[in-house]
Structure 1
C-alpha cells in the first residue's frame, strides 16, 4: 500500500448539540518537532467558513467531535530500507474538540488548521504507531510550481469504495492559476472535479514515480513526488469558482509550516 494512502485519514463530523453525524471529510497526519498533528481545513475542524465566519454546513450545525478513521503501522527496527512491506491495522478514534486547542493562523485566514494528537498513540497496541509526513524533512520540487503542473488530490469522497476499504481515492488535477500571483494570500487555484468529502486532502505534485512490486501488493512506493499543499474544496458559496470546477490549494510553506514553526 502506498505511503500516502496510510498517512491520509477519513474524518466524520458529529454535531455539538445532538452528537449526530453530519459530514465527512479528509485529513492527514504530519510530524513536526516530534509531535503528531491531524491536518485538515479550518472549516472542517472549526465548522465555520474562513470568508465570513458562518457555519459551512447548510443546517448551521457546528462539530463537537471528529471521528478519525486511519491506519497505524507496525514500527520496524531502525535501519530497515525505505521501500518495505508494512504491517498495519485499521483503527478509529474520536476527538472531543472541546478538549483540544485548534491551531490556525488568524492573520493569514487560510483554510488550514491542525490539532496536536501526539498523546493518542499511547493507547495503540504495542509496537504500533502513526505513520506521518515528516515536515522537518520534506523533499523540494526541482522546479518552481507553474501552471499546468499535474497534481493529485488524495482524499475520501463520499463513495462506498472509499468507505468500505478505508483507502483514499487519488483524483488528478492541474494548476490553473499562476502560483506567484496569489502566493502572499497562501494559495493557488487548481482545475479538477473533486467530490464532497475531499476537503482537507493533501495535495501531491507529480514529478515522476518509481516503485517496488511485492508478492502481496503491500509495498511502499517512493519516488519523485512532493507534498505541496492542502485542498479546501470547491466552494459552493463562490458560484464562479464552483461552476468553473476550480478549487483552492493552500501552499504548505505559506500556511502549515508557518503555523507549526
Structure 2
C-alpha cells in the first residue's frame, strides 16, 4: 500500500479539444462532504501565455488492491461559458490557486484516493521556523512512477519568514529543486501532534512557480527558490456560504 500523501496527489493533463497542452499537479481537499481538486490558477487559465484549456484529465486508481491499474477522469472547466472553478483574492492580488468541485459519485467504485481536510490547514502560523523541512510531492517534468502512477517528492525548506507575506504577496518561499509539472503541488510538513493520523501531514501551502533573477548563466546557478501560496486561502474559496453568495450573484447578474 502506498503512503497516503502520494494518494492525495494526482497528475493533471490539460486539454483543449484533442490537443494536450501541458501537465501539472493537483491534490484532493474535502469540506462539508464536497471534494475539490486544488491546483494553480495558471494551470486552468493563464492569459500571459494564452494557455486556455477547456478540460482537465486527472489520473485515478480504480482498484485499491492494484495500483498498477489506471483510469483518467475528465473534468470540464466550463459550463455554458462560465468557469467551474472557485478562486479567491486577497488584499493585494488574485491568488494563484483554484478549487474545482468534483463529482466523486462518478469515480470508479473502489477508487483509491485520500483527501486533505480542514484540520490539515492551520490559520495559526506559529511554530514554523525558517529552515523547516518541507516535502513537495508532484510530477516534475511529468516524471513519476509509471507502473503505479504515483508522484515523487522533492525535499525543500522554508526560505522566508513563515507567516509574513513575501514582498506583500500571499505566499512564502521554499528552497528546493522544482520543475514544470509541479505547479499545484501541496507543500507539506509532517504533523507532530498525531503521527498516526491517516494523512499525517500539515498543509502549509500550494507550490506555484520558480523564481529566477538576471544572472550570468555561465557563472551562476539558477536561484532555486519557489513561491508557495499560503494554504489558508483554500478555506476562503471553499466556504459554503461564500460559494452560495457567489452563485446567487452570478444568477442575478451581479459581480
CA drift at 1:160: 4.7
Q: For residue 150 of structure 1, what is the aligned residue in structure 2?
A: 133
CA distance in 2, matches of 1:244, 1:111: 21
Residue deviations 1:22-55 (CA, integer Å, cap 9, x gap): 2100000110111000000010022x1xxxx422
Q: Do residues 258 (structure 1) and 240 (structure 2) align?
A: no
Please give the secondary structure, in 2, of the residue aligned with 1:43: helix
Decide whether aligned partners of structure 1 residues 207 and 106 sit closer, same or farther in structure 2, where only a CA change above 3 A counts: closer
CA distance in 2, matches of 1:257, 1:179: 18
Q: For residue 234 of structure 1, what is the aligned residue in structure 2?
A: 210
Please give the secondary structure, in 2, of the residue aligned with 1:24: strand
Please give the secondary structure, in 1, of the residue aligned with 2:120: coil
Q: Is the Cα contact below 8 Å between 2:26 and 2:38 reproduced in 1?
A: yes
Q: For residue 78 of structure 1, what is the aligned residue in structure 2?
A: none
Q: For residue 77 of structure 1, what is the aligned residue in structure 2?
A: none
Task: Point out which structure has higher relative CO (alpha carbons under 8 A, 6+ apart).
Answer: 1
Q: Do residues 115 (structure 1) and 100 (structure 2) align?
A: yes
Please give the TM-score of this superposition, normalised by the length of structure 2. Answer: 0.76
CA distance in 2, matches of 1:159, 1:40: 15
Most deviating of 171-180 and 121-130: 121-130
CA distance in 2, matches of 1:40, 1:30: 10
Q: Is the Cα contact below 8 Å between 1:7 and 1:71 reproduced in 2?
A: no
Please give the TM-score of this superposition, normalised by the length of structure 1. Answer: 0.74
Q: Is the Cα contact below 8 Å between 2:44 and 2:52 reproduced in 1?
A: no
**What RMSD in Å do the two structures reach over aligned CA positions?**
3.1
Decide whether aligned partners of structure 1 residues 21 and 239 sit closer, same or farther in structure 2, where only a CA change above 3 A counts: farther
Please give the secondary structure, in 2, of the residue aligned with 1:104: coil
Q: Do residues 249 (structure 1) and 228 (structure 2) align?
A: yes
Residue deviations 1:132-174 (CA, integer Å, cap 9, x gap): 1122x32758952221011000101225543443101110001
